[in-house]
Each structure stands twice: as structure tokens, then as C-alpha cells.
Structure 1
Amino acid sequence: MEGVYFVVNNIQREVEQPLDNVVNTIMLLEGGATIPFIARYRKEKTGGMDETVIRKVSDRLEYYRELEARKAAIIKSIETQKKMTPELNKKILDCTDKIVLEDIYLPYKIKHKTRATAAKEKGLEPLADIIMSEPMGGKTKEELVAPFINAEKNVADYKEAVAGAKDIIAERVSDSAVIRGWVRGYTSDTGMLKSAPRSDFKDIKTKFGSYYDMSELIKNAPSHRLLAIRRGTKEEILSWKLVVDEIHVTDTIKAMVIKKQPLLFVMEIEDAIVDSYHRLMEISIAVEVFSQAIEKAEVEAISVFSKNLRSLLLAPPAGSKITIGVDPGFRTGCKLAVMDEKGDFKEFNTIYPTPPENDITGSEAVLMDLILEYEPQLIAIGNGTASRETYSFIKQMLKKHDKNIKCVVVSEAGASVYSASEAAVEEYPDLDVTARGAISIAHRLQDPLAELVKIDPKAIGVGQYQHDVNQKELKRSLDLTVESCVNHVGVDLNTASVALLSYVSGIGRATAENVVKYRSDNGKFKNRAELKKVPRLSEKVFEQCAGFLKIRDSDNPLDNSTIHPETYPIVEKMAGDAGIPVKDLVGNTKLIDTIPLDKYVTVQTGLMTLKDIAGELKKPGRDPRSEFKNVEFAEDITEIEDLKVGMVLNGTVTNVTNFGVFVDIGVHQDGLIHISKLADSFVKNPYEIVAAGDMLSVEVLEVDADLKRISLKRISGGKAPDARPGGGNTRPAARPRNNFEGFKIGSYLDTDL
């Protein structure tokens, strides 16, 4: 029981929220509620926590579950060895850090054969005790060591006996949680990370050239440098080491170990301490510190990926417009797919305006036929091979024929992955891979979110060292990001694909397939209540998903809003009190502003939810994404060789990192705006300035065609903005504290949700 309160109180301190709100959030999570549902529809329970805070509660809960399970295993192991003491038990139970916990356990861990265990087998442990204590009786060193010299045990003489005892002392020093903790802390604070090329790469130019002679405090090393050094090390181009003041380290350990002066064997103890550090701690702790830094760097890199992915998913949709998708190419030609305003496929063709065919006349004839027949408002061009050449061809053709059609270059990252996937085959079984690729490009312009959810987020390619980080954590973070975006925007229940529906709160893949099958068999959903007829869609799932699923032409006007069905009676009462039907209340801003919300507060529905309801009634079904805009590339700049220092160009942000921003300026190679060139004043975080998908004006600062590197500066950046700002009293009956495995907070805290 105390373990549960220990977990809850630690989470409460870390998230800095009232205890009751933290407990309620934990119980909602354990009850199967999703983060988007809790954030939007349970504000009274959480005190209005946003998704970021709720996710932190969820993450820390998982961390402490793992920590408590590990404590239970360690306690069991030590008790089996009959070495447990009340003090040790308390130290384990009070521990909040996994690394420190392992330090505590280290002396009791069953070890493989070491120099110390070999010395113990020779009966030298009592000698180690004597050396570490105040000798009694005025005996000499030789007299104290003599009883331990034993040829049968391979202890031939004084030197071998003392050497074995020193090995035991060295391991004891290394096993000390206090000493290891200090050395780790000192290494983390003062360790200089140095990287250099391996001997066979010293005179070879590589992409890791900037790390050939790098030195900085590891605690200050930015995530991209750490991940680059690790990648260079894996590719056997770089090596790294952590350098600390070794004399200070060993002197400090000596002061911690040698408490009594003078000691007969003080020189031997000091030798053992120096050996302990260099043989048993120096490398292992350096690796630990580097690994901890890498772990933080991975968290940061995953965060970068998630932020960029969120920006792309929430990019403004071009909307319900007839669109021609163009998947450009050279030898294989440019694939064209016409999509109507609903996103339905109409026609496919291929043209060859680019080398080696250069069939400008024939390509123009085919494309113009499609334009005259379908009257598209948009042409979406993939940004891959032959993109700029295709863009120039189409722009010149439209100008020639005086056609006012917007040409937009869109990212085709992951399009090939999607076009060859099972989902694409199911969606377009009669079309080949090339047609499906062009369709995906058109859909990305019409509604980026609806299309990108069909693709593995990792294939979208907006991450920093995405292949080097923890893949399980990356997938988890990206899935949560997609889920958050889908539920933030909401989903049209009658048009959404299985891929899109599967990210709706509470639904998942299997239920999404059931929803689509029901829709196919029975026609469009007439209202949200009809969802309950879908096979295996439980009341719990309905509770979690209903508010995020919209029906445009429902017989209930509230079904096209984010108002949850559980609060429909409140809206109906508001309308009834005003003497009008609900449909006349929807969109009636003047009337809604006069409603006394306090009057409708209930035990379950407070003012925060009522304000959300009023806001949604004013603008039901609105898309929270911003308005669509398009960037125009310079038509005469198509290759990196066309760039000149000082040029001012338009571009689109493709990727944001901690060290700067990558921008597509239409030359097949993204340019980099270093963080120092983003604004006229200091920028701490690029995300405060820009996001993926933003349109910028940039100046070319430097071009290296050989390395394909383009340095840019943001034009009219101005000053950097200020940084964005980022409890139950009743104790039930006691329960054994050491039983942690599989515990749930709700099992112990009697709170009615």
C-alpha cells in the first residue's frame, strides 16, 4: 500500500499538479480511457490538464511500475541470500532512480568469476578485512599476512596474498553505491567528450569531418552531436572517450574509503582504490554516462520527429477541390491521377516531358485534355526525382494556355511505401503501383492528415537520426502523435478510411474495419447513436470515440460537432429553456453568449466542459487547421548549380531540428538555416520560430555542390519571440508494500469516476 502512495506522490511532484487531479488521471488511464478523450472530455477530473501533461503522467506511471517490479525482484533475491537488513530494505523502497537502484543491488548481485571471487575462493577475504581495519597487537605486515599463505590454495607468498586481498578491496570499492554514484555524478558534470577519427580515416574526407577533433563537456553536448558521434562510432569512422581529472577522482575515493589514520596497509589500500577506478569503474561509468546522454538525446530526437510529424499532419488541407496528382520521373515518365472533389479516383495517364523522351508536345496534349475534361483547381507535384523539371513544364504550359490552376509541390516521402502496401491494394485493387503513387500525392494536397495516416510515420522522413534511436519508443511516440492529431481535427464517420478511423480514440484497427464494413453493408450512418449497432463496438468504445466522429448530414445537428453525446441532454435543456429547437441554437452566437452556464453545472459536468460546449455551438464542425497557402518556386532555379550566394528565394520548411531548419527551395537538395540565422536575436529553440510546412523567404549564404550542402539565412526574421510556457485523503486498509508486480492505482484508491 505504501508503495502505491509512494508512486502517486512522486508522479504528483514531477508533474506539479494537485494530487486529486493526478489520482483521477491515473485511474482514467487504468480504466482504458485514451489521452485525447481525457484531455477533452474529462477536464473536471484532471483540472484541465492538456495532452502533454496527461502523457507525462502516463509515462511516469509506466516508469514507476517497472521500477517497483524491479524492486520486488531485488528484494526477493537479497532475502533469498539471507542478507536483507531493515536499513537496506528501506533504501531499496525509497529509491526513485533505476540506475541508483542497480548500484544498491550491485554488491548482492550474483557475479561471474572475477579476480575478487577467485581471491575469496583462496580464503583471502579475512585478510582484506584485516588490511581495511586498525591492526591489533602491534604485528608487522608480514606477521598479519603469513596465516594466509597456502601453496595448496595457490597463494605462494606474501605478494600473492596481498594482491588477492587488494582485488577484493578493489571490488568492494567498485560495488559501493555511494562511491559509484559520486564518480558517475562527477563524470557527468565535468567529463570532456572527445571524438576523433580512427587511424585509417584521419586523412579521408567524410560526413563526420566536423567530429575529427571535437571536445566539449558531455553535459553541454547537444543531442544531434551525440547521435552523430554514436553513428560515426558504429560505422567505425570515429572513436570517443570521456576525459576527467583522474587524480581528483582517486584522491576523493581515497578520502571516502580511508577513514582512519594511520593505517598499516594504507599504501596497499590506495593501490587497490586506484586499481578499482581504472579497472572496474572508469570505462564502465564512462559508458554509462555516455549511454545516459545518448538516452536523453534519443528522447530529444524522438520529440523532434513527433513535432515535425505533427506539423505535417496538421498542415492546412487544400480541401474539396478537383486535383491532378503528378508523380514525376525521367525514364518512367510522369504519372497523372485525376481525383474529384470528394477524393475519388477518375482517370490515370502517363506523360514524358522530361529527359530522355522530352516529349513536350505529346505531354502537353494529354495534360490539357485532362484539364479541359475535369477542370481541376489544383495540380499536386511530388517533390522527388524530376520534380523541378516537371513543375517548370506544367507552369509554362498553364501560362501558355492561360489557365489559372495552382501548382503545388508536395512531399512524396513514404508515397512509394504506401503505393505498394496492402492498404493501397485494398483501396485501389485494379490500379498498379505507379497509379496509386500519383493518387497519394493528390490526396496529400486535398487532406494531408487523411492520407498520411495510411503510411508508417517513420517513412515520412521528418526525423533527426530516426534510424539510430530506440525504435520501440519512436513508434510509440509517433503513434501517440498521429492519434492526437486525428482526434484534434475529428473524423467524418461516413468517409473516413480504416487507416484514419483506427487512430480515433478507443477504436483501433479491428473496430475500424467493423465500422467500415457496417457502413458498406448498411449505407451512411444517420447519427452517432447508430454506431452502437456496429458489431463488437462496446459501450466503452462508444464513450471514447463518439465525440471525435462527425456526421455532416445527421438527423441530430450536434453530431457534426465535438460535443459528446453524454452532454446532449444539457444542450437540449439549454435550447428548451430558450424556447427553440437545438438546430436553431447551433451557430446562434448572440443567443449562446447570453446563456448562464452556471445554471447547467452538474456533478459530472463543470464550467470548463460547459465553456467548451458553448464554443463548439458557436462554430460547429469547424476545422482547427489553418488556411491553405502555396509557395511559388523560382522557375529558373532547378539545380544546386543554379544557386548563387546572395540569391533570395522562397521555400518550404521540411524539417526542424534543434540546430536549425531544413528548407526545400526547389533544387532537389534541402538547404539549412542554422539556428543562429533564424532571427536577428538569440533563438533558444527553433520550434518557437517555425514548424514543418511553413513558407519562408531565404537568402543563400553558401553552396557546396560536392557535399550537396546549402547554407541559408531567414529573411525578415525579426526578433526571436519569448519562449513559450511550456490531492484523496482516505487511506484504505494496509497491504504488503513489497508486492508491486502488476499493481493498479485504482485497486488501492477508492475514488468514484
Structure 2
Amino acid sequence: EDSEEPTSSKKVKLSKIAALKKENNVKISEPQWSEHELLAEQQNLTLNVAKNIVKLFEDGNTVPFIARYRRDVTNNMSPETLREVKETYEEIIVLKNKINTVVKNLEKTEVLTEQLKHNITSSRSIEELEYVYAPYKPGSKRTLAERAKELGLEEPALSLLHNQSEINLSDYVQKDRKELSSVADVEKGIVHIIASIISTDTEILSHLRQLRKRTNFIIKTKITKKPPLDEGKFENYENFEIPVKYIKPHQVLAINRGESLKVLSVKVVVPDNIFYDFQRVCFRKWSCENSAHQLRHNILKQAIEDSYNRLVQPLIIREIRAELKQQAEKASCEVFSTNLKHLLLTAPLKGKYILGIDPGFANGCKLALISPMGELILNNVIYPHKSQSREKDKMILKNMLQEHNCELIALGNGTACRQTEEWLTNLIQEKIFHPLDVKYTVVREDGASIYSCSAEAKKEFPKLDPNIISAASLARRIQDPLAELVKVEPKHLGVGMYQHDIKKKHLEEALNDVVSECVSFVGVDLNTTSQCLLRHVAGLSDKKAQQVIEYRNKNGPFICRKQLLEVHGIGQRIFQQCAGFLRVGPLRADDATAFYKNSKATKLDSTYIHPESYDIAISLIKKLNLKLCDVGETQFINVIRDKAPQLDLPRLNDEFKSNTQTIQLILDTLSKPLNHDLRSDCPQEPLFKKGLTSIDDITNGTVLTGRISNVTHFGCFVDIGVGINGLIHVSKYNGLNLEMGNKVEVKVINVEIERKRIGLEALKQL
């Protein structure tokens, strides 16, 4: 039973299009382009790869599944590129759907001609479609061309344009009608009709699209009124001028915001060569060498100029602005997505007791100590910022840490963080916790308070104060960041900038896709996972995750992946998408022997290998004279690592009727232990400290170590432990590829204490 309503609005649109295609009784107005052709053009793909991707998305495949298990047909496309391609494909489907709607609307009003239908179905962007459709929208103001047609001037206009016959303008003069009272009025009406025809001609529009790609446009801005107090950033855009091809996404978003606030005026400078080229192409198409008709030449010249100045140039400017906005929003979403991905894939710090502290003044600092398994075992509230209770609070903290030999503290970065950090620093320097070597790290609190009051938190801690839950969540964010952070909507995790300049739905969908990708690629243990984590696995939803948990509670632990097909609501399609990302194995290492005696159990269920490739994996293991029961063992792994580089992959492809990417995935997976965590491939432990630095202690030239806390298009922010994040401008990266979570050594190049700004230069990545 695979039927389930898609959760995102874009998926709903896709399903509607698919339904329209399948209904024979619904007339579809197909565009003059195919989906894969337009996708290939917009994403710079080969036609074959674009066709494969369209087919994969049409069949309901998810990005994580395609990125891992269908690389052979996507030319090894990365998940990030696939997300971008998917977004473009969805926009193409929306355009296709809108073309169909426009044609049906025009058919109802009986104004649809074959030429108009051709112009509409040739549209290759929403802006172009809106431009062609605008004059025919219900309630829209009649265009100059429409008014001229109503005066009976369409026939002479077409005759002149196509050089069909001699036209005497005075024949159309009507003294009793104001709009036709003179030859000049008749000529003006004919010019408007021809200008409209020229501006919507598909050949001309196609030429303009190509011309735009080769032309360098300039954006100019200036301040029109004094900006609001909190919008001083617009000072940068006074008499600002930049070529369109060099403008940065954050500049586009800032300019658009300034324009909407009526603080900035924006002008796109279109070079004169665009008009001259446009004029040349128009004359080439409609000028007749054997025609010496001066009237026709003059009217055609006027129509070309009118078409350009009144219709074509504004269209070019609108399209440039729309493309810049779209590109800036996509780029900003990508920054959010990349930052979120690095945050979620931070290596876990397992096997440790960790104390979480949610700092505060009047309401005290909330303490929560978690076990190596993430269970809350102790909690308390202390008031270290009230002098009368400091000695008592010091002993409470000391006893909690020493009782469980806990040496790691996760301190929230909210209210009273700086003061609590000073207090902890003094205690560490006074060796209060001796013989423990206590260290602390400052943890982002973004979303912790939202989670602590959620139904998810109430379900796990039904009788616990939300403030204590926040402290426990901070500790878990260090112990297993992915498992804890997925409990919070990604938009609340504070991983980007210009959030309010991006469409809310667009951003949420992009971030949710990243969460699904991260959870899927890390993998989820089917027998221990929570519903909260499981629902983010590719192919599953909250409802399906609940059904899996209910099945597990009723029937006991899963023995194999294939058992998922017994869960109500999960059929072959959903199984295909999620199975490779779910792990099934013994609950404890001691149970392994008994667990694998069951004929349904296989060690391959604890790997990244998809069940559809088990036969190939088993054949490959036999070919290498190894045993399936030894998968994951040290000797087995060593043999795979020794022999894999010597294998002839093309020959194996033919032998197993497979492809290089699948064979390579199997070999890579077999060369790792069971339940391998990809986060361990590039571990980055939290930056633990034993003391803090004050902003008053740093000057130009001071060298510090910090962790990158946010990345933008203009630079990255670094937590250097002074209470204010410093900024490394992109010009100060010194060739380093800096990403969120990186540990870096930096040099202070500028300090503005009053403005709370610290400028940094990157020295090296640690």
C-alpha cells in the first residue's frame, strides 16, 4: 500500500501534472519544448543525463536515493547538484502547468489564435509567459495594439508588415472618430499593432534570450530617502554601480529590500547595441528587398523603435531583475543548506558523560547530566550570579561532575553565557574539580527552547521542567548532533542570513531536503531509532515512521530489512527508497552470534549496500574467496582493501550485469566495519576550552583559535571566545576553503568595540 499524499506543495504540483498527463480525456497544450531539453539548457546538462533525471523524478525517486544508488545514470551527480536540478525541474513543471492553464483560459474567451497559442507554448520562463499573456488577462487594461485592432486597423497593419499589398492610410481616416481623425492617428495605430507583433514573435524573443547571455548589463542604485535607523547597511548602495555578472547574491537581496522600503532607486542600464541588434534582426525578418514602398519602411522603422522602447526593453529589464532575484534566493538557500549540512554532520562525541548548562540570571542556570547513551541521569538549578549562593552552587556542580567522572560541559550561548563562562573559568583555574580535567564548549542554543516546549519533548520527559529539557538538549547536541537537531525545525537553527528575504516555503523545503539527505546518508538503526529521526529518512513520512514503530512495538525487533514490507502502508516503491538507509542488526554485540543464526538475518543489512544489489555483493564476495558471515571483520576488510584496487571493474560490470558505480559502492562499503558512520571519516570535535578571552584583551595582530559558526557569500563568522563573533571577509580567506564547523587560526586585523565588530584574517585551517 504505497499511496500517501505528498507532503510538500511542490510535490503536489508534480503529482497534479502527472495526473493530467495520464488522463486521456484532458486536453494538454504541450509546450514547444520538452522538459528534459529545457532542463538541460538551464542546468547545462547533456540531453541524455537530463532525460534520465526527469524519468527518475517522474518515478518518485528521492534525492538521497538517486545520489547514492543511481549515480550511473546521472553522471555521478552530487546531492547538492541534484537538489538544484530538482528545483529547476519543479519550476519547469510549474511553467508547463501554467502554459496549459493559460491556453485553456484563452480558449474559453475565444481569443486564442494559432499564432497566439504558438507564442504562449514557446514561452521558456514564467516572465516571458506573463508578458505574452498580459494583454488577454480578464480585467487587464487594453493594450494600445488591442485598441487599434478594435478600430479596424489590424488588416492594413498585417498587409504592411508582410508586404501583401499597397496601403493608402487616408482610406482609414474617419473624421467623426477621434482616434482615426487624421492620417497620423491611423499611422500611430498601425505602428502599435506591428510593435506588438514584433515584441511577441518567438524568433525575435529567442534571439533576445541569446543576446542577453552575451551582453554585459549594469545595475545602478542610489539612496532616495534616509533609511530607517536599523537599515544603515544601505549606505553601501549610494551611487552604487556594478556589472550584473559580478553582483553578489547578498547585494541583490539588499538592493531588493532597499527598493521595497523605497530607500533605494534601482536602474538597469541596457547597452545601445541591444537595440541596434534588435533592429537589424527585425529588418532582416520583415524587410523586403524588392519593396521600394517608403511608407512601409517608415512605419516598420517606427514600429521597431516603439516595440523596443515600450515593450522589449522593459521585458529585458524585468527578466534580468527576476533572474537576479531567483539566483540570489537560490544561492542564499544553498548557503543555508550547506551550513545546515555541516552542522548536522558534525561528528558525534559518543561514550562520554556530558553536563549541559542552560545559563540564566534570575531563573538560574539549569544543569542536566546525560549518560554515554544520552539518558538524563541528574539535573539541578544553581544561581552562581547571586553572591549569597555561590559556594553552595560550586559544590553542587562539583559533586555532579565527580559522581560520574564527567569532564565535559556544554554551555548554552544564550543569556548569561558570558558571565557563566567567567565563573566556570575561575573554577577551572582554582582546580575546584581536581583531579578531573574539566573543559567546556559553548553550544548554539538556536531552537533548544522551541524543542523543550514541543510535544516531542513532553513525550520523552512528561514531568520535567522545559528549562531542564533545554539543558539536556544542549548536552545531546554535543553527544549526537544529528539525532538531537532533527527534533527542531531547521529554520530555527540559525544557520544563514537574509532569511526574511527568501520565500518561506522555498527555504523550508530546501532545508527539509538537507535534513533528509543527512539522516539518510548517516543511516538509522531500525531497532533503536525514534520516530522523530525515522521520519526524515528518504521515502518515509511521519505517518510511515509511526507505522514502523508500531510494528516494532507489536512484533519485536526487526530481523532484516525485507521485513519492512510487512509494515502496513509500505510497499515496494517506498521500500526501494528507504531500505538502503536503514540498518538492521543485533541490539548488542554479545547477541551477534544468536542473531545471525536466523536464516533471514544478513550482515549486509548493516551496510550501505541496497537490497537490490545483494546478489551482486554476494557474488563478488565469493569471487574474492571470502565468506558472507565474515563481512565487517578486520581480516575481511583488509582483504577487500588489498584486492579492490587490482580488480577490473569494466569486466566485473559485464560479469554481474551491473555498472561501475554500483560495484564501487559495494567494494567501498565492504572495506568498512558494520554500521560505519560516515561522520567519523572527517571528525571535528567541539572546541573545548579551560578559560576565556575578553574583547579588551585583543588588539590588531592578536592570533586566536576559533570555530566557524556561520558562512555567507561575503565571508564567514568565527567564534573566537570573546562573546562577539569575528568576521573573515572573503578577501581575507588567503586561499582557504572555509566551511561551517571548521577550526581555524586567525589574526585580528580590526576591532570596533562600540560597534561590536571584529575583523579577522584566516591564517590556517586546524
Distance 1:30 1:265, change over 3 A: closer
Q: Deviations over 1:564-617 (max 9, x none)?
A: 344445555667788876333432234444597977976565554344333323
**Kept in 2: contact 1:661–1:674 (CA 8 A):** yes
Aligned to 2:536: 503
Give 1:658's aligned residue: 713
Equivalent runs, 1:733-748 vs 2, <5 Å: none
Return the match for 1:193 from 219, 223, 228. Answer: 219
Q: Give, in angstroms, the shift of residue 207 of structure 1.
A: 2.1
One-letter code aligned to 2:320: V
Greater Cα shift, 628-637 or 662-671: 628-637
Structure 2 letter corresponding to 1:216:
I
From 604, 629, 639, the equivalent of 1:583 is: 629
Please give the alpha-carbon distance, in whole angstroms, between the structure 1 residues aligned to 2:426 and 2:222.
Answer: 51
2:228, 2:586 → 1: CA distance?
A: 69
Of 266, 269, 289 in structure 2, the residue corresponding to residue 240 of structure 1 is 266
**Aligned counterparts of 2:37 and 2:299: Cα–Cα separation in 1:** 47
Shift of 1:263: 2.7
Distance 2:638 2:167 in 1: 99
Q: Secondary structure of 1:507's match? A: coil
The match for 2:256 is 230
Q: Give the 5 Å matches for 1:193-592.
A: 193-201=219-227, 206-245=232-271, 254-255=279-280, 259=287, 263-264=294-295, 274-354=305-385, 359-399=389-429, 400-401=431-432, 402=434, 403-553=436-586, 555-556=595-596, 557-568=603-614, 582-587=628-633, 588-592=636-640
Aligned to 1:145: 170
Partners of 2:205 and 2:48 lie apart in 1 by 38
Mark the CA change 1:717 to 1:406 in structure 2 (over 3 Å): closer, same or farther: closer
Q: 1:618 to 1:212 in 2, by over 3 A?
A: same
Q: 2:3 maps to what in 1?
A: none
Once structures 1 and 2 are overlaid, which stretch shifts more, 535-544 or 105-114?
A: 105-114
- Which amino acid counterpart does residue 32 of structure 1 have in structure 2? G
CA positional deviation for 1:325: 0.9
- How far 1:621 moved relative to its partner? 1.7
The residue type paired with residue 699 of structure 1 is K
- The Cα of 1:209 is off from its aligned counterpart by 1.3
Kindly indicate whether the alpha-carbon contact (under 8 Å) linking 2:401 and 2:407 is maintained by their aligned counterparts in 1: no
Structure 1 residue 615 corresponds to structure 2 residue 663: no
**Contact conserved, 1:663 with 1:671, CA < 8 A, in 2?**
yes
Contact 1:71 1:92 in 2 (8 A): yes
Alpha carbons of structure 1 residues 69 and 264: separation in structure 2 relative to 1, 3 Å: same
Task: Tell me, yes or no, if the aligned pair for 1:103 and 1:180 is still in contact at 8 Å.
Answer: no
What is the distance in 2 between the residues matched to 1:17 and 1:132? 39
Cα distance change of structure 1 residues 336 and 491 upon mapping to structure 2, 3 Å threshold: same
Cα offset, 1:623, TM superposition: 1.4
Once the two structures are superposed, what CA deviation does each residue of 1:605-662 show, in whole Å capped at 9, x if it has no partner? Answer: 55543443333233222211122424356945345x5542222221111122222111
The 1:717–1:419 alpha-carbon spacing in structure 2 relative to 1, beyond 3 Å, is closer
Note the C-alpha offset of 1:205.
7.6
**Residues 470 and 347 of structure 1, relative CA distance in 2, 3 Å threshold:** same
Name the SS of the counterpart of 1:291 in structure 2. helix
Give yes or no for contact 1:39–1:51 (8 Å, CA) kept in 2. Answer: yes
1:37 to 59, 65, 73: 65
* Alignment-derived partner of residue 637 in structure 1: 693
Partners of 1:318 and 1:628 within 8 A in 2: no
Point out the more displaced range, 602-611 or 458-467.
602-611
The letter for the 2-side match of 1:559 is D
Q: Hey, what's the Cα distance between the residues in 2 that align with 1:567 and 1:336?
A: 48
Q: What's 1:735 paired with? A: none
- What are the within-5 Å matches in structure 2 for residues 651-690 of structure 1? 651-679=706-734, 683=735, 689-690=737-738
Paired with 1:501 and 1:674, the residues of 2 have a C-alpha distance of: 39
Name the structure, 1 or 2, with higher relative contact order (CA <8 Å, separation 6+): 1
Q: Which moved more, 1:463-472 or 1:479-488?
A: 463-472
Cα separation, partners in 2 of 1:601 and 1:426, compared to 1, 3 Å? farther
Matched residue SS, 1:367: helix
Question: Bigger shift: 97-106 or 466-475?
Answer: 97-106
Read off the aligned partner of 2:576 and give its amino acid letter: E
Separation in structure 2 between the aligned mates of residue 297 and residue 614 of structure 1, nearest angstrom: 40
Distance change >3 Å, CA 523–CA 599, structure 1 → 2: same
Counterpart amino acid of 2:264?
L
**C-alpha distance in structure 1 between counterparts of 2:62 and 2:609, whole Å:** 17
Per-residue CA shift, 1:430-485, capped at 9, x if unaligned? 22321221121111100111111111111112123122123333222222211111
TM-score with structure 1 setting the length: 0.81
Change (3 A) 1:571 1:4: farther
Letter in 1 for 2:739: A
Contact 2:368 2:379 in 1 (8 A): yes
Of residues 144, 147, 159, the one that matches 1:118 is 147
> Which secondary structure state, in structure 1, belongs to the residue aligned with residue 402 of structure 2?
helix
C-alpha separation between the residues in 2 aligned to 1:421 and 1:474?
22
Kept in 1, the 8 Å contact 2:440–2:689? The answer is: no
Measure, in 1, the Cα distance between the counterparts of 2:506 and 2:114. 36
CA contact (8 A) 2:353 2:369 kept: yes
1:703 counterpart (751, 754, 765): 751
SS of corresponding position for 1:715: strand
- Would you say the 8 A contact 1:650–1:665 is kept in 2? yes
Q: Is the 8 A contact 1:532 1:542 kept in 2?
A: yes
Distance apart, 1:53 and its partner CA = 5.3
Report the Cα distance in structure 1 between the residues aligned to 2:452 and 2:364, rounded to whole angstroms.
17
Change (3 A) 1:254 1:551: closer
Q: Which amino acid aligns with 1:381?
A: L
Q: Percent identity?
A: 33
Structure 2 unaligned blocks of 5 or more: 1-20, 22-29, 588-594, 597-602
Contact conserved, 2:159 with 2:165, CA < 8 A, in 1?
A: no
* Alignment map for 1:161-180 (pairs within 5 Å): 161-177=186-202
Cα distance, 1:38 vs. partner? 3.2
Task: Assess, with a 3 A threshold, how the Cα gap between structure 1 residues 132 and 49 changes in structure 2: closer, same or farther.
Answer: closer
The residue identity in structure 2 corresponding to 1:623 is D
Change (3 A) 1:249 1:358: farther
Q: TM-score, normalised by structure 2?
A: 0.80
Matches of 2:611 and 2:209, distance apart in 1: 55
Within 2, Cα distance between the matches of 1:196 and 1:358?
58
Distance 1:74 1:230 in 2: 29
Specify the code of the residue in structure 2 equivalent to 1:382: G
Indicate which of 90, 110, 113 corresponds to 1:83: 113
> Which ranges in structure 1 are unaligned for 5 or more consecutive residues?
719-753
**Distance of 1:169 and 1:464 partners within structure 2:** 47
> Which letter maps to 1:116?
A
| Whole-angstrom CA distance in 2 between matches of 1:231 and 1:69 | 30
Deviations 1:661-682 (CA, angstroms, capped at 9, x unpaired):
1111223332211111111xxx
Task: Name 1:725's counterpart in structure 2.
Answer: none
Letter of the structure 1 residue corresponding to residue 414 of structure 2: G
Q: How far apart, CA to CA, are the structure 1 residues paired with 2:231 and 2:211? A: 35
Which residue of structure 2 lines up, in the alignment, with residue 692 of structure 1?
A: 740
Would the alpha carbon gap of residues 34 and 271 (structure 1) be closer, same or farther in structure 2, given more than 3 Å must change?
A: closer
Q: How much does 1:692 deviate?
A: 0.4
The Cα of 1:693 is off from its aligned counterpart by: 0.5
